Structure 1
Amino acid sequence: MDTSTHIIVGIGLGTLSFIDPVISAADSATLVYTATILGSNAPDVDYITKLKKKSAFYSIHRGFTHSLPMLPLLALLIAICLLPFTTLQVASHLFLWTLLAVCIHVVSDVFNIHGTQALRPFTNKWIALEAIPLFDSFIFLLHIIGIGFSIVPTIPVWQPFAIIYPIIVVYYIVRFYFHRRILSNLESHFVNSKYINVLPSRVLWAWKITIETDDDFLFGSYSFNRLIIVTTIKKHETSQYFMLSKEHGEISNFLNSCAKFMPQLVSRKNGWEVRWIDTRFRKGRFFPFMGITFFPHGQQPISYSGWFHTPFHYKKKINEMMLISSKNSNSNHPIQKSSVSY
């Protein structure tokens, strides 16, 4: 889930924690909300790796910090940090609520597109159930409603999140059921496919579809038992440039974070461009998350990976890479901008 959702879930759990007699008797709302909000965001402490190298962050994020051993450890560290401000009894209860917040964070990430390495150290496999979007407006709205009921003094005292969280659990189950049913339906029709991805959108009845065959990648949408293919992209033949691109740390780190990717080789006026496209993220015919290696003729290759907000942003980055290679070769020839279509 996104950071804003993790924060608001922390607030919701903090509100729910007051059903605990020890927490309510402590009469320290600031301490309680600090614990649950920190717990709800603690597994994302690996964001610090982004300061060192962005590509390393892509391969590390949602890895070890989301693993089984880290769940109680993160909650314990938060409880220990808060111990000087309260009693041991209250801190022990804060640990339990913080642990719940940490666990919900990891479970939520398992249900979305990115997934996590939640079963480490038993396996390093990325687990992504792909049933919940990164930002789910329904879950966010329920938390807003619950917080609203909690702070309005004219409403009788009751615990709204004791009702909201069971609703969210049912919502997760329904989402997961829809995902598995659609996937099963598509697999029965595309029996020769190499893989099929059913990816969530912000509404329950609409899903994004990716189908890989021996020759093509099919991208489309599925809603109300109807599949619409938006675009078909033919696979590129294996090239030595693909293998050379993988040798770059920027690209190898990027590919470690991709469950499914589509390689492409594009001829440029002064070299070759290799694209590694993460097929999970698509806006119409544009793919915003990819790794790129540019192989200028007679020069050292240049690599970049990350998010491209628009096709224009992507073209701008390509032109920058071509310009850098041109300067490195001390060439006085002007660089011509290339149009890129998807």
Structure 2
Amino acid sequence: MDTATHFAMGFALGGIATLDPVIAQDPVATNAVLLATVLGSQAPDTDTVLKLKSNAIYLRNHRGATHSIPAVLLWPIVISSIIHFFVPEVNGIHLWLWTFLAVFLHVFVDIFNAYGTQALRPFSQKWLALGVINTMDPFILAAHGIGFVLWIYGQDPGYTFIVIYIIIIGYYLWRIKAKHDVIKQACSIIPGGKVIISPTFNWYKWHLVIKTDTKLYVAKSYNGKIEILDEYDFVPIPKNDIISAAKKDKNIAAFLSFSPIHRWEINEFEDFIEVRFIDLRYRSKGHYPFVAVVHLDYDLERLSSFTGWIFSEKKLMKKMNAAIRE
């Protein structure tokens, strides 16, 4: 989920914590737990700072180790221990419990996005991405907003957010069914295809990529109707010297570790060879903005590379030229 929604969930859990009699009997404890749930709701996303270093490092690590099983256990210990050091009168076990719930909820809801997490690390490197809820969901954020308004105007925050979360659970179940219906319809149009689905800001619009043994279909579902937008031959990534050299590049390697469905191109120019990988999940106005590109000389040595979001060839060339100077 987006940062604002995670913050909102942290505050909401702090409100629900007022139903804990050990916490509710002391205003200091209530405030300490509220701080803990807010910090816990943000802790797994501390890896966002890696984006300042490079897109490749960010792709390799975001929602990886910081969302793993050890991290879910470690974050609550660190956060609750620090707070307990400054506020020793707070019950340490209950402080840890509410912090743990905040961290766990963060990782759990991220699984429902198309981006997903590596929540099963270290036992599995697989990305868990259910593709049910958009990264920024207006209904979930608005529901929390209503809860905060009711809290401000004197309603009990614990019971208020219990009711709101029951409603949100129902919303998740509806979205799961909606996704299932879209996939079922896609499979009836292209039998035997594997469907990769991504939700959008619009409840009734979904991005689809349907893979068969021979084809890649890029489609959208809108108001229950599926439209095929692009069609490509499915050609497995070849095993040749050019691809082997390209895969050694950190940007290409990061992209391939993250993107579940893409196509590739090799283009030869006078001064260099370009290898490009294009993620098919994010089609926007006829363009595929999420790419990884490497330029090699004819000795297959790297000249420059880039991975990330690009909406024009002109900007991509600027990024590639800048990478040469790094």
TM-aligned CA distance change 1:211 to 1:303, over 3 Å: same
SS at match of 1:274: strand
Q: Tell me the alpha carbon deviations over residues 91-137 of structure 1, each in whole angstroms, 9 at most, x when there is no partner.
A: 32121111111111111111111111112222221111111111111
Distance between the aligned counterparts of 1:270 and 1:237, measured in 2?
A: 26
The aligned counterpart of 1:34 is: 35
Instruction: Give the letter aligned to residue 301 of structure 1.
Output: L
Give unmatched runs, 5+ long, in structure 2: none
The aligned counterpart of 2:199 is: 200
Report whether the alignment pairs 1:213 with 2:215.
no
Instruction: Give the letter aligned to residue 3 of structure 2.
Output: T
Offset of 1:67 from its aligned partner?
A: 1.6
The aligned counterpart of 1:64 is: 65
Offset of 1:235 from its aligned partner?
A: 4.9
Cα RMSD for the two superposed structures:
2.6
The aligned counterpart of 1:106 is: 107
Distance between the aligned counterparts of 1:15 and 1:179, measured in 2?
A: 31
Instruction: Give the letter aligned to residue 168 of structure 2.
Output: I
The aligned counterpart of 2:23 is: 23
The aligned counterpart of 2:182 is: 182
Offset of 1:171 from its aligned partner?
A: 1.2
The aligned counterpart of 1:226 is: 225
SS at match of 2:125: coil
- When the two structures are superposed, what TM-score results if normalisation uses the length of structure 1? 0.85
Distance between the aligned counterparts of 2:75 and 2:158, measured in 1?
A: 30
Q: Is the 1:296–1:322 contact (alpha carbons within 8 Å) kept by the matching residues of 2?
A: no
Distance between the aligned counterparts of 1:167 and 1:180, measured in 2?
A: 20
Give unmatched runs, 5+ long, in structure 1: 329-342
Name the % identity: 32
User: Where in structure 2 are the equivalents of 1:135-284 lying within 5 Å?
Assistant: 135-153=136-154, 159-193=159-193, 195-235=194-234, 240=240, 241-268=242-269, 270-284=271-285
In the alignment of these two chains, the number of paired residues is 322
Offset of 1:3 from its aligned partner?
A: 1.3
TM-aligned CA distance change 1:212 to 1:318, over 3 Å: farther
Q: Tell me the alpha carbon deviations over residues 23-54 of structure 1, each in whole angstroms, 9 at most, x when there is no partner.
A: 22220354232211111111122234334443
Distance between the aligned counterparts of 2:26 and 2:171, measured in 1?
A: 33
Distance between the aligned counterparts of 1:316 and 1:163, measured in 2?
A: 48
Q: Is the 2:19–2:158 contact (alpha carbons within 8 Å) kept by the matching residues of 1?
A: no
For residue 306 of structure 1, the aligned residue among 308, 314, 318 is: 308
Distance between the aligned counterparts of 2:22 and 2:156, measured in 1?
A: 22
User: Where in structure 2 are the equivalents of 1:290-305 lying within 5 Å?
Assistant: 290-296=291-297, 300-305=302-307
TM-aligned CA distance change 1:242 to 1:130, over 3 Å: same
TM-aligned CA distance change 1:208 to 1:320, over 3 Å: closer
